[in-house]
Copies of this chain bind each other. A is one copy, B any other.
Amino acid sequence: MRRFVDQLVSDRLVMAVIVLNATALVLHEMAPRGSSMRALWFWIDYACVVFFLVEALIKIRRDGWPLYWASGWNRFDFVVVIVSLPALLGPFFAVSQFAFVLILRLGRLFRLFRVLRFIPNLDHLVTGIRRALRASIGVFLALLLINLILAVMATLLFRDLDPEHFGDPISSGYSIFQVFTVEGWNDIAENLETRAAETESNNAKLLVAGTRIFFVAAVLIGGILGLSLANAVFVDEMMMDNTQTLERKVDALTEEVRRLRDDLKT
């Protein structure tokens, strides 16, 4: 019995159920609404939820609550199970509130993050990402601030020319973000230039030139400099490990030589 229970919560089986669950979620959405296949995949998904509930209960009973809760992954699994519970009641009640159903369905997707546990070297990767993000937080805050300032600036300058992209600071911020990804920046600029050229001829040429300088500056600052900097900070942090190992080794060696010198003096 005990052996059977251990196998039930073994990594292999859990992994297999998560993959089955992912397949069910995808194929459920692939099947036409109201088809019997859709119902089948729905119930397989339902069975997976029940399996995860049972798995969590078995683990809690086997390890005791404090030990179970000590693991970050277990806590994640437990939250997923709790969030899934209302979905278990779904089929027995006619829930007409659309938004509520949607949130329940989206919630099911988070179960798939359990797969992350089985990615090789995940700890190393997570440590690297966390350190890289912490180190590049300054770059990203600076980019956010520059985005904000450029957005308000663009609102003041281009609001009347292109209300769709720069009608209010939030739309402008979104457009500036797009310019920062370098994607379609030329379309936005060209659109503005065309409308600027359509206005009275006095300031038109100046406006076109100003627009181009504004966008070239935004692309250079956000898309080229910003991303390169973030990238450089990432690489720097990723490689810190190796350099620190080397530094520790050189430090140890220096210590060794100093001790040798002390030995000689005495």
Contacts and interface: CB of A to CB of B under 8 A. Distances in A.
A120 to B, nearest CB: 6
Contact of A233 (B113, B181, B238): B238
A49 interface: no
Contact of A264 (B112, B159, B232, B264): B264
Contact of A246 (B102, B212, B246, B260): B246
A211 to B, nearest CB: 10
A258 B260 CA distance: 9
Given A234-B229, A261-B263, A112 B250 contact: no
Given A112-B149, A142-B116, A260-B264, A156 B212 contact: no
A39 interface: no
Interface in A245-266: 245-247, 249-254, 256-261, 263-265
B30 A157 contact: no
A74 interface: no
Number of copies: 4
Contact of A238 (B112, B152, B178, B235): B235
B256 A261 contact: yes
A235 B239 contact: yes
Interface size on A, as a range, is 35 or more
A29 B138 contact: no
B139 A29 contact: no
Interface in A149-172: 149, 152-153, 155-157, 159, 168-170
A246 B252 CA distance: 13
Contacts of A142: 116, 119, 125
16 contacts: A30-B168, A109-B153, A115-B145, A116-B145, A119-B142, A181-B219, A182-B182, A183-B184, A224-B227, A229-B234, A231-B235, A236-B239, A245-B247, A247-B249, A250-B250, A260-B260
